[in-house]
């Protein structure tokens, strides 16, 4: 009798645990597939952020070169750059 008294609430608690485990097992392939697709694809927002970061880094790099060329115009990396903007001339 004592065993039945202790086993009944335990059985009720385990039903929820088993049901949750069954749901987790069923949804696992969907979650794995979704994670794989997310890892392989890039959203438009992520692409825009990456492109903006690349442009900003290129502008920072050009700015550093321009400041360096103002201080030392005879450096090899400064030859062929315009004096006012520090940019390389556009080739056609």
2-27 pLDDT, tens per residue? 665 666 666 666 666 667 777 788 88
- Is 92 among the domain residues? no
Write out the residue range of the structural domain in which residue 53 sits: 42-86
pLDDT of amino acid 35: 86
pLDDT of amino acid 13: 62
Q: How far is CA 28 from the centre of its chain?
A: 23
**Residue environment code for 47-66, b if the CB has 16+ CB neighbours within 10 A, otherwise e:** eeeeeeeeeeeeeeeeeebb
pLDDT in tens, 52-78: 999 999 999 999 999 999 998 888 888
Residues 4 and 25 in one domain: yes
Domain tally, the chain: 2
Q: How far is CA 17 from the centre of its chain?
A: 35
> What is the mean predicted confidence (pLDDT) over 44-57?
95
């Amino acid at each position: 009798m004592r065993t039945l008294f202790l086993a009944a609430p335990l059985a009720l608690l385990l039903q929820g645990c088993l049901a949750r485990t069954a749901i987790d097992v069923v949804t696992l392939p969907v979650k794995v597939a979704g994670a794989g697709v997310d890892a392989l694809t890039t959203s438009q927002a992520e692409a825009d952020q990456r492109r903006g970061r690349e442009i900003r880094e290129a502008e920072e790099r050009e700015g550093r070169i321009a400041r360096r060329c103002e201080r030392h115009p005879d450096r090899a990396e400064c030859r062929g750059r315009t004096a006012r903007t520090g940019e390389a001339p556009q080739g056609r």
